[in-house]
Structure 1
Amino acid sequence: MALSIRVYETLYQDFVAYQFDALAENMAVDLLPVINYSAGSFDQTQVLLRLDKYEYVEFARIYNEYDELVNHYVGNPNIDNGSSSTPVVDEANYLHLDNGFHTINNNIFVIKTIGEVDLPMGKLVLSYDIQHPLAENRWKFIGLVSPVVLILLLITVITTVRLQRRLLTPLTSLIAKMKKVEKEANYDVKVSEEGKFEIASLGRGFNSMMLHIKNQIDINKRKTLLLERQQSQMEKLANFDTLTGLPNRQYLMKSLSIELARAKREKSQVALMFLDLDGFKQVNDSYGHDAGDKLLCGISSEISDAMRDGDVVGRLGGDEFLIILVGNPTNSQLEAIAKRLISKITKLDHIDGWRVDPSVSIGIALATDSDYAASTLVTNADVAMYKAKNEGKGRYVWFTASMQEETRRKIQVATHLPQAIENDEFHLVYQAKVNSKGKVVGFEALLRWFDNELGNISPAEFIPIAEQSDRISEITLWVIVQACLEIPHISEHYGEDIRVSINLSAYDLKNVHVTEFILEGLRSGGIPRNNVEFEITESAYMNNFSIANAFLAELKKEGCKISLDDFGTGYSSLSYITEFNIDTLKIDRQFVSQIGTSKRSELITITIIEMAKNLNLNVCAEGIETHEQSAFLTENGCNILQGFLYSKPIPLDALFSQEEQALLNLAN
């Protein structure tokens, strides 16, 4: 519209200029005859009055050839042009202008020469006010055009809005879907893929993105579910026993600490029962580990059924169980529970058709006796349980303060044991072995320990502790080395054929360092093979049968003698006796001690001697204390006799000072 107005005004100016120029040209011709008339003449004025019909002519002026004003005309007085008698524009602004059309201050000036250009007789100046007609016509034009423009604008707006809605509807829908996704976190949405290429591509991209996000969320959900299951399984594995499903040691100790802390705050009682199955290893070895596992599962079920609500039952490991009894139980309640457990476990006498005759030893300890300390409470219950085993198994025992002294003693022995090895506090004593004629044919090297603080410590006391602390093999190596140092002195006094027995434990058979040390010593001569005999208990042999057999076969190759100690007290089958790589069977002292009082023990002893003879094995009886026992064994063919009747275990120096006389005197 502005462009149209501009074009219109330009055309209007050109039109006015053309018309006004033609008018000025005609008036200049008409003024030629009267130019020389006197100023203001009627003929001049008559020519100028032609301008009356032109509304916007401001003025007209006639100048002679000397640029002197001859006559003038003033236009329409109704037009606001400053004054009706005073020129709007100073003469200085146009007198010097050339002939033709000029625009000055929104006025059109036309300068025409009167007469010939080369011989001018005067000059005609016309001024036309172009501003007012332009303004009037501009508003007329706007008035005419505005309705059309408004209609066009309205049509344009309506069309644009409709087009916009049509084009942007998919975008609006997409934005609404995105807001919905943001608000509801629901990625299972889809938008229309219609519209222009860009909009359709955007819709496809959005749907693809939502699908990808949904798939990733589904994958993450599955992974999260899997992780939760794995975490649950790991927590279960970390806190529960995989075989029985009962809480394990970690869970039990955590629960015990919590219950003890609560009981200490409330000044109430918590009791702990330590259960250990009697003879479980025999079940495993006799019927297999599957039967042992089934027995453990059955016992764990029976224990759980016998407990009260709130009590915690768990498996420490192996055949050991722990029961945490809360709720301030009384002594009578605890004893009733212990009796019920012993009874229920005893009734589980068959597993897979095998008779197992299980029993359990129970130790009972109270939190108040341990000052509510979890580790101390477990130790107290453990000590009481071992007391129950020592008293005959299949029973329960209360922890007492006197047992603490035993525990303290064990701890002291365990603490001093490493120092004993380092400070060479051990020494060997020797107990003689004689033949049926009373002649010394060998000695058994026995270990003794004297501690400056604890005094004399029995092997029965420190050997189990050494086995538990994994120091038994160090002690065995010390015994072998020391015995090999002392054997030459013994053989010097008792002959070159004398043999010294050295005991090996089950732990020694499994220790490669010990077995290799012995074999290397025999091969290098460090261990005198003709004077050394190794003694192994029946239970140690059977616990490591394949390993023991292979090792003993190597010892036999090196010319060493092997003795099977404590025969008849273990659980080996007689079929194994033919596979033993041994030279001597030692009859255990429990049979020897009952000679003369138990016909059954005498029959068993005679059977062992006859069986050994049939297998070309020597027979040694230990623990002989009476002449009656000696005579019975000699009459039934026992080759070697050992016991206090002949000699007590004595140190090396005493052995030399008494020599054979003391031994033979005892034998006679």
Structure 2
Amino acid sequence: MWVSLRVYEGLYEEFVSQELQALSENLANDLLPHMAADDEFPLISVLLRLDEYDNVEFARVYNTQSEIVSAYIGSALVKHKQHAGNENSAGDILLHELDYGLHIEDSHIRVVKIIGEPALPQGKLVISYLIEQSLADSQRKFVVAIVPFVIFILLTAVFLVLELQRRSLQPLFKLIEKMRRVEETKDYAIEVSIEGKSEIKALTHGFNSMMSDINKQTELNRQKNKLLTRQQEQMEKLANFDPLTGLLNRQFLMKCLNIELARAKREEKDVALLFLDLDGFKMVNDSFGHDVGDKLLCKIADVISDSLRLDDIVGRHGGDEFVIILGECSSVEQVEEVAARLVEAIGSDQLVDQWKLETGASIGIALAKDCDFSLTTLMSNADIAMYHSKRNGRGQFTLFTRMMQDDNHRMIRISTSIHTAIENNEFFLVYQPKVDQSSKVVGFEALIRWYNPHLGMVSPAEFIPIAEQSNKISVITLWVMAQVCKDVKHILRQYGETTTISLNLSANDLKDETVTAFVLEKIRELGGLAGAIEFEITESAYLKSFQAGNAFFDDLRALGCKIALDDFGTGYSSLSYLTEFSIDTLKIDRQFVSQIGVSQRSELITVTILEMARHLKLKVCAEGVETLDQATFLIDHGCHLLQGYYYGRPEPICENDEEDGLIPALESQHSM
């Protein structure tokens, strides 16, 4: 605006100057005819035409002698009286001395015009114009006229600028809006259209690329998180559940039991724990394979789950063992009812892969209040009760009592004392004679006995199973083998070179390469006396290590030893494997011999075994002969060897050569 006013001021001054020059020219021409007249009135009349111009200060007409012949004072001069006094002689002198033309001085424009021709001047006309007021008025009018337009122009310009800015920044606003939406929704799968200036296009392109990368990374992270979540769930399942049966595993089961015990103790209630072990599961694995065994475990797991209440907890403790937690047990009778239901359900035949499998369950029951809610003791009590069920015939349940704990402590003491017993020579051998049909002693069976200063006389029926369960039977076998090898020369010297000494091997012995290697070494040390040694093994133990057993027995037979199949007839695979067994003798189990004269069925089975052995060219030894009738029956049906209390009890060897033999009273026994 200031520039416009300055420009306008210049233009206005130029315009006024031109107008003033034209006016002075016209007035000079009009004054010329009256310059020679003596009358001033015509001159004044001409000068009065200046009244039309408000800003004319004054006008003066000078003759050729620079004298004022006429003058005019305008309204502008009246308004500026402060300058009037100065327009006297000095001003006159100054004015009439001005050269012809236009003179601009401060706020005054003065025009000096010649009257007449330049060659013959008649005078001069001086007009003074006050441009300040005129310019101010004109500027005011200009401003009043132009301000609305300027405002309009400015508003229009502002609008256009804002509109252009809005349009140019609209892609940026869209981009910002998208960014806000991404911030709120976390949805990175968006794309902004590329438009606008090059900078905004570049920014939008970069934003789209960034969102695309973030979306890809987010999707990748989502997939990874999903995979990690699934893996975590699988890991939690593997950590807490048995992968085969889907039941709680041992670790998670113990956590649940601990929680139940704490709750029951706080609420002064009881918790019942059932420790369940499958009967005969190992035989299923050995006979049908581990795949069938695994499927049977899954089947049993389902049977157990279906037999329990909704609030009961069941888990797999390991192998063929299961643990059931009965959190709400109001009475012992209720717990026994659950246990009986489980025994009955599991005791039914299970159909697996078209195989009809006979199964059973031995269950031990323990109550939390009996052990002051101790988890370790509760588990131990249930385990002890379960083994009592197994020892009492299997397929049953047993409630834990304090007496069982005493028995268990004795079992532990026996197990831990076996190595000490060998070091202290607490074990000793007794020999039970075997006779032929003429009652002549033709062999002996070496039987181990144990006397402990603290435990007293420990029966083999007690410590042999404990040794097998604690994997210490092989230590006993090594000791027996070494002792028999020491006794064999003395026995043969007393009873002849054809006498046979028998000793027993367990299934664990056949699997232990240390035992088999030791036995073979001892047999080789005997040299020619190896033919006097016979090894007895039960058919069930033979079947557990059939391949390894056959190879081992072949080596023994090659060294001259004999092999006898002990307790024949009590297993369930005898006939199918009999032709594959590398044996020399069958031993009829005492349960058949004891029924001679009592059960015709048992007598028939015994006769059948004797007849079968004769056709297979195998010797037969009957053990457990206690009466004359039993002996007569066996001899009449072709039994080769007899063993039992009727012919002699197991006795220790007599080291004194002057003694008649192992059994002093043997000669007084009945001869057949």
Q: Do both share a fold (TM > 0.5)?
A: yes
Counterparts in 2 of 1:489 and 1:346: CA distance versus 1, 3 Å: closer
* Residue 595 (structure 2) aligns with: 594
* Residue 303 (structure 1) aligns with: 304
* Residue 626 (structure 1) aligns with: 627
Residue 368 (str. 1) matches residue 369 (str. 2): yes
Structure 2 CA distance, aligned partners of 1:206 and 1:524?
91
* Residue 666 (structure 2) aligns with: 664
* Residue 502 (structure 1) aligns with: 503
Q: What CA deviation, in whole Å up to 9, does each residue of 1:32-62 have, x standing for no partner?
A: xxxxxxxxxxxxxx99x99999989xxxxxx
* Residue 209 (structure 1) aligns with: 210
Q: Does the 8 A contact of 1:348 with 1:358 survive in 2?
A: yes
Counterparts in 2 of 1:663 and 1:607: CA distance versus 1, 3 Å: farther
Counterparts in 2 of 1:50 and 1:428: CA distance versus 1, 3 Å: farther
Name the SS of the counterpart of 1:566 in structure 2: strand
Structure 1 CA distance, aligned partners of 2:516 and 2:172?
86
* Residue 226 (structure 2) aligns with: 225
* Residue 63 (structure 2) aligns with: none
Q: What CA deviation, in whole Å up to 9, does each residue of 1:396-438 have, x standing for no partner?
A: 3322221111111112222323433454543333222222233
Structure 1 CA distance, aligned partners of 2:668 and 2:610?
24
Counterparts in 2 of 1:392 and 1:655: CA distance versus 1, 3 Å: farther
What amino acid sits opposite 2:321 in the alignment?
A: E
TM-aligned CA deviation for residue 601 of structure 1: 1.9
Structure 1 CA distance, aligned partners of 2:517 and 2:427?
23
* Residue 569 (structure 2) aligns with: 568
TM-aligned CA deviation for residue 528 of structure 1: 5.2
TM-aligned CA deviation for residue 440 of structure 1: 2.7
Q: What CA deviation, in whole Å up to 9, does each residue of 1:574-630 have, x standing for no partner?
A: 131111101111111111222222222222222212211221211112222223322
Name the SS of the counterpart of 1:645 in structure 2: coil
Q: Does the 8 A contact of 2:311 with 2:327 survive in 1?
A: yes
TM-aligned CA deviation for residue 374 of structure 1: 2.0
Structure 1 CA distance, aligned partners of 2:527 and 2:152?
126
Q: Does the 8 A contact of 1:646 with 1:663 survive in 2?
A: no
Structure 1 CA distance, aligned partners of 2:398 and 2:300?
20
* Residue 468 (structure 1) aligns with: 469
What amino acid sits opposite 1:662 in the alignment?
A: P
TM-aligned CA deviation for residue 311 of structure 1: 1.1
Q: Does the 8 A contact of 2:651 with 2:662 survive in 1?
A: no
Structure 1 CA distance, aligned partners of 2:492 and 2:611?
31
Structure 2 CA distance, aligned partners of 1:662 and 1:229?
79
Structure 1 CA distance, aligned partners of 2:241 and 2:535?
44
Structure 1 CA distance, aligned partners of 2:509 and 2:663?
36
What amino acid sits opposite 1:625 in the alignment?
A: E
Counterparts in 2 of 1:661 and 1:567: CA distance versus 1, 3 Å: closer
* Residue 437 (structure 1) aligns with: 438
Name the SS of the counterpart of 1:659 in structure 2: coil
The 10-residue stretch of structure 1 (623-632 or 502-511) with the greater mean CA deviation from structure 2 = 623-632
What amino acid sits opposite 2:429 in the alignment?
A: L
Structure 2 CA distance, aligned partners of 1:206 and 1:321?
61
* Residue 248 (structure 2) aligns with: 247
TM-aligned CA deviation for residue 540 of structure 1: 0.5
The 10-residue stretch of structure 1 (279-288 or 511-520) with the greater mean CA deviation from structure 2 = 279-288
What value does the CA root-mean-square deviation take over the aligned residues? Answer: 4.0
Structure 2 CA distance, aligned partners of 1:639 and 1:655?
31
Structure 2 CA distance, aligned partners of 1:504 and 1:632?
30
* Residue 134 (structure 1) aligns with: none
Q: Does the 8 A contact of 2:623 with 2:642 survive in 1?
A: yes
Equivalent positions of 1:282-321 (< 5 A) are 282-284=283-285, 292-293=293-294, 295-321=296-322
The 10-residue stretch of structure 1 (626-635 or 351-360) with the greater mean CA deviation from structure 2 = 351-360
Counterparts in 2 of 1:530 and 1:55: CA distance versus 1, 3 Å: same
Structure 2 CA distance, aligned partners of 1:619 and 1:402?
43
Q: What CA deviation, in whole Å up to 9, does each residue of 1:308-354 have, x standing for no partner?
A: 23111233344433221112421222233233333444454655665
Q: Does the 8 A contact of 1:466 with 1:472 survive in 2?
A: yes
Q: What CA deviation, in whole Å up to 9, does each residue of 1:537-559 have, x standing for no partner?
A: 11001122222222222322233
* Residue 262 (structure 1) aligns with: 263
* Residue 406 (structure 1) aligns with: 407
TM-aligned CA deviation for residue 177 of structure 1: 3.0
Structure 2 CA distance, aligned partners of 1:604 and 1:378?
44
Structure 1 CA distance, aligned partners of 2:244 and 2:229?
22
* Residue 323 (structure 1) aligns with: 324
* Residue 137 (structure 1) aligns with: none
Structure 1 CA distance, aligned partners of 2:234 and 2:466?
37
Q: What CA deviation, in whole Å up to 9, does each residue of 1:56-113 have, x standing for no partner?
A: 9xxxxxxxxxxxxxxxxxxxxxxxxxxxxxxxxxxxxxxxxxxxxxxxxxxxxxxxxx
Counterparts in 2 of 1:334 and 1:328: CA distance versus 1, 3 Å: closer
Q: Does the 8 A contact of 1:538 with 1:566 survive in 2?
A: yes
* Residue 41 (structure 1) aligns with: none
Q: Does the 8 A contact of 1:484 with 1:526 survive in 2?
A: no
Taking structure 1 as the reference length, what is the TM-score of the superposition?
A: 0.72
Counterparts in 2 of 1:267 and 1:194: CA distance versus 1, 3 Å: same
Counterparts in 2 of 1:266 and 1:635: CA distance versus 1, 3 Å: same
Structure 1 CA distance, aligned partners of 2:557 and 2:204?
89
TM-aligned CA deviation for residue 526 of structure 1: 7.8
Structure 2 CA distance, aligned partners of 1:54 and 1:198?
57
Structure 2 CA distance, aligned partners of 1:603 and 1:612?
14
Structure 2 CA distance, aligned partners of 1:569 and 1:536?
13
Name the SS of the counterpart of 1:625 in structure 2: coil
Counterparts in 2 of 1:586 and 1:195: CA distance versus 1, 3 Å: same
Q: Does the 8 A contact of 2:652 with 2:662 survive in 1?
A: no
* Residue 31 (structure 2) aligns with: none
Structure 2 CA distance, aligned partners of 1:187 and 1:620?
89
Counterparts in 2 of 1:278 and 1:331: CA distance versus 1, 3 Å: same
Structure 1 CA distance, aligned partners of 2:218 and 2:546?
59
TM-aligned CA deviation for residue 288 of structure 1: 5.7
Counterparts in 2 of 1:474 and 1:394: CA distance versus 1, 3 Å: closer
Counterparts in 2 of 1:209 and 1:472: CA distance versus 1, 3 Å: farther
TM-aligned CA deviation for residue 359 of structure 1: 3.9
Gaps of 5+ in 1: 3-45, 57-139
Structure 1 CA distance, aligned partners of 2:606 and 2:177?
100
* Residue 534 (structure 1) aligns with: 535
Counterparts in 2 of 1:661 and 1:360: CA distance versus 1, 3 Å: closer
What amino acid sits opposite 1:219 in the alignment?
A: L
Equivalent positions of 1:129-168 (< 5 A) are 165-168=166-169
Name the SS of the counterpart of 1:530 in structure 2: helix
Counterparts in 2 of 1:163 and 1:347: CA distance versus 1, 3 Å: same
Q: Does the 8 A contact of 2:539 with 2:574 survive in 1?
A: no
* Residue 114 (structure 2) aligns with: none
* Residue 84 (structure 2) aligns with: none
Q: Does the 8 A contact of 1:484 with 1:528 survive in 2?
A: no
Name the SS of the counterpart of 1:529 in structure 2: helix
Structure 1 CA distance, aligned partners of 2:479 and 2:630?
35
Counterparts in 2 of 1:347 and 1:567: CA distance versus 1, 3 Å: closer
